[in-house]
Amino acid sequence: MNAPIKIGLIVNPIAGMGGKVGLKGTDGGATIEKALQLGAIPVAAERAEQALQPLALLAHQFTIVTCSGKMGENACINAGLTPSIVIHTPDRVTTRLDTMAAVARLVNANVSLILFAGGDGTAGDVFTALQGDTPILGIPAGVKMHSAVFATSPGAASRLILRLLKETSSQLPTRQAEIMDIEEHSGNEGRYRTKLLGYASVPIDRRLIQNPKSYGAPDEQDSIQGIAKYLEHNLNPAAYYIIGPGQTTQIFLERLGVKGTLLGVDIIRGKELIDRDVNYKHLITYSRYRPLFIIVSVIGGQGFLFGRGNQQITSDLLEQVGKDHIIVVSTAEKLTSLDRLCLLVDTGDKKVDAALSGYIRVRVDERQTLIVKVEPA
């Protein structure tokens, strides 16, 4: 583009705080209070900074327009950028109304793209306040991210914006992508459902922008039961197992007669439940136990192993457990439905992401495994 473009930025300061402490999101004042009591720390600003830092050398090619303080200005300054401020951020804990007000001001400022750091809740608020077809792009910083408007990582968001800066056309190539969120309380029924909120314009890039989360088809149930049966029959009775969230791992626990948490992380030893719905502080205390394994399932449609919905399993824990003690489970149908037969990791630690990369064995049925490539998101 010939003239400097305007990029709008919104940081949801509370997004993602519930992940490591075992909450399933951070929507609502009571949830924020609970997250803080459990020792949660902000993560969205850091993720935003990671996306913005590579852009600092090209600052003369664009103007970044944002909110004051913690909703954008601080992240810009820390990344080496000088923003223009269009709205003042309140001193109190911010709410969805603050996000929506910021969107309206950015649209009025005629930005070419609204970049936001948050999760599905933030995406829904941005979508609700949008007027017209202003493209949006999410920096993944929430607990859950089922929507198809998020870059696969902060680094991927950077690469998309760098490409935008090189565009010669005044019109950003976009496509319509799903805005989704989990239906309240559906996890209490033994499975959870998502709802489609609508569609928004996003930059076109199948590699750097994630797909919406997909769910297992009924004809996958035999494979899931086969995976669960294999795991049950091959448990080491002396070993500790950290069980990640998801329907596949839940069915495995049901075979053991254990009541796990569909959206949480549980710990078993042999076939006995040791701890249920644990947060990262509690999990890390188990890192000294041996043998110790992590059983994790693949997110359908997206291919993520870590960094989406299982942030309780931190990079520190993964480093101590080691790749050889990670057991990955997925149906073959889920793997082959991915755009690329490749799994993604986004732990927030580049060193750990690199250590997890390469190839990993995935249990796809009782008697079958596949070797699948793993890459940083």
pLDDT digit string, tens, across residues 118-167: 999 999 999 999 988 999 999 999 888 899 999 999 999 999 999 888 87
Q: CA 256, 258, 261, 262 torsion: positive or negative?
A: positive
DSSP 151: B
Q: What are the backbone dihedrals phi and psi of residue 231, each rounded to the nearest 5 degrees, phi first?
A: -60, -45
Q: What angle do CA 194, 144, 293 make, to 5 degrees?
A: 115
Question: Quick count: other Cβ atoms within 10 Å of Cβ 60?
Answer: 7
**% of the chain surpassing 70 pLDDT:** 89
Phi (first) and psi of residue 82, to 5 degrees: -110, 105
Where residue 4 falls among pLDDT bands split at 50, 70, 90? confident
What digits encode the pLDDT tens for the residues 41-57?
789 999 999 999 999 99
Interior CA angle at 141 toward 135 and 252, to 5°? Answer: 115
Torsion of CA 101, 103, 105, 109, to 10 degrees: 180
pLDDT at 41: 79
Give yes or no for residue 188 having a pLDDT over 50: no
**What pLDDT score does 245 carry?**
94
- Return the bridge partners of 85, or none: 66
How would residue 25 be classed by pLDDT, with cut points 50, 70 and 90? Answer: low
Cα 245 to chain center, whole Å?
13
Tokens of 174: 């976009």
- Does 368 have pLDDT greater than 90? yes
Using DSSP's 3-state secondary structure scheme, residue 88 falls into coil
Q: Is 97 exposed, middle or buried (0-12, 13-18, 19+ CB in 10 A)?
A: exposed
What are residue 240's DSSP bridge partners? 269, 292
Q: How far apart are the first and last CA of the chain?
A: 27
Confidence of residue 36 (pLDDT cuts 50, 70, 90): low
Q: How confident is the model at residue 1 (pLDDT cuts 50, 70, 90)?
A: very low
Distances (CA, A) of 283 to 80, 256, 276, 293, 295: 36, 21, 10, 12, 14
Query: For 129-165, b where at least 16 C-beta lie within 10 A, e where not — what string?
Result: bbeeebbbbbbbbbbbbbbbbbbbbbbbbbbbbeebe
CATH number, domain 5-203: 3.40.50
Residues 6+ apart with CB under 8 A from 119: 12, 15, 16, 25, 26, 140, 141, 142, 143, 144, 145
Q: Which candidate, 290, 316, 165, 176, places its Cα nearest to that of 238?
A: 290
Burial tier of 351 (Cβ tally within 10 Å: 0-12, 13-18, 19+): exposed
